[in-house]
Structure 1
Amino acid sequence: MAQEIERKFLVKGKFKPEVFKSTRITQGYLSSVPERTVRVRIKGEQGFLTIKGKGNHSGISRYEWEKEIPLNEAEELLQLCEPGVIDKTRYLVKAGEHTFEVDEFHGENEGLIMAEIELKTENENFIKPAWLDKEVTGDDRYYNAMLTKHPYTKW
């Protein structure tokens, strides 16, 4: 099984001068139950189908399976998704040997900016840029699947 180990943080400062790539992402959920989420994503001109399992006790690691699918199939599957679509711009920012994925949300999640870092182990050390704010790893409100049901602008 593929394990995803990641930590999530809110963003408080200016990260954009450090961005080396950005991509618009649209995604929806065929299933958003906590035990398994099934996500359809359009990232730029590529489509993806992703299945994620429930997180461990710390919320840092969980099962993840992802497969690239044709763009037209991703567009069709988005029509079958549960209500609520995530629209965001993903920025990539290097920090030491790691790359943070910083998501700036649009639409009903406007104003939310979150950074994620994928790690090899749960205890791996990494550089924390000055623009990182509070850690929200394991806080269900910040999972994209939850943001489709309870958008940030309605908190």
Structure 2
Amino acid sequence: MIEIERKFLVTSNAYKDEAFKSTRIIQGFLNTHKKRTVRVRLKGDIGYITVKGQSSQDGLSRFEWEKEISKEEAESLLNICELGVIDKIRYEVKIKNHIFEVDEFFGDNKGLVVAEVELENENEAFEKPFWLGEEVTGDIKYYNSQLSKQSYKTWL
């Protein structure tokens, strides 16, 4: 249950033409402690509750546990989350053996577009699409839990 991923800024909208799937995601946080976060997510009509541990020093990996819950359960839990709900559309793009999840944010995070790719190990090679920009792996200001507290619009 260790998640290994790298995160990048996105430099163009070209990923939209390459996406094989897109889904609206609404998520909130029941807990955003430095050592753990508890997230509630409504992804389309399916709910999820996720617990994430503290990131490794390089930001590449961390513990993650996730369980599917009903839409109604997710909606109820979203009502008691900390302030700062995340609203985004996730585009999934297959590049060779990897799937890039590209999140286009709305609301207070409008204008931010970030791509993540999950890896089997920290040294795994992958092809970078031309629309990938600066790597922001490990930069906590790009974590959704932080974007819910310190939105992108406040950076500008």
TM bucket (normalised to shorter chain) is over 0.9
Q: Which amino acid aligns with 2:16?
A: K
Cα RMSD after superposing both structures: 0.5
Q: What SS does structure 1 have at the residue aligned with 2:24?
A: strand
Distance in 2, matches of 1:154 and 1:58, equals: 26
Q: Which amino acid aligns with 2:76?
A: E
Distance in 2, matches of 1:123 and 1:33, equals: 29
Q: Which amino acid aligns with 2:72?
A: N
Runs of 4+ in structure 1 off by over 6 angstroms are none
Amino-acid identity (%)? 59
1:111 paired residue number: 111
Q: What SS does structure 2 have at the residue aligned with 1:73?
A: helix
Distance in 1, matches of 2:57 and 2:28, equals: 26
Unaligned 5+ residue runs, structure 2? Answer: none
Distance in 1, matches of 2:127 and 2:135, equals: 14
Distance in 2, matches of 1:35 and 1:60, equals: 15
2:5 paired residue number: 6
1:47 paired residue number: 47
Distance in 2, matches of 1:101 and 1:34, equals: 24
Q: Which amino acid aligns with 2:67?
A: K
Deviates more, 1:118-127 or 1:12-21: 12-21
Q: Please state how far the C-alpha of 1:57 moved relative to its aligned partner.
A: 1.0
Q: What SS does structure 2 have at the residue aligned with 1:80?
A: coil
Distance in 1, matches of 2:83 and 2:17, equals: 35
Aligned length: 154
Q: How does 1:1-155 map to 2 (within 5 A)?
A: 2-13=1-12, 14-155=14-155
Q: What SS does structure 1 have at the residue aligned with 2:148?
A: helix
Q: Please state how far the C-alpha of 1:144 moved relative to its aligned partner.
A: 0.1
Q: Please state how far the C-alpha of 1:72 moved relative to its aligned partner.
A: 0.3
TM-score, scaled relative to structure 1: 0.98
Distance in 2, matches of 1:97 and 1:37, equals: 29
Q: Please state how far the C-alpha of 1:25 moved relative to its aligned partner.
A: 0.1
Q: What SS does structure 1 have at the residue aligned with 2:146?
A: helix
Distance in 2, matches of 1:34 and 1:134, equals: 25
Q: Which amino acid aligns with 1:138?
A: G
Q: What SS does structure 2 have at the residue aligned with 1:75?
A: helix
Q: What SS does structure 2 have at the residue aligned with 1:149?
A: coil
Q: Which amino acid aligns with 1:25?
A: I
Q: Which amino acid aligns with 1:124?
A: E
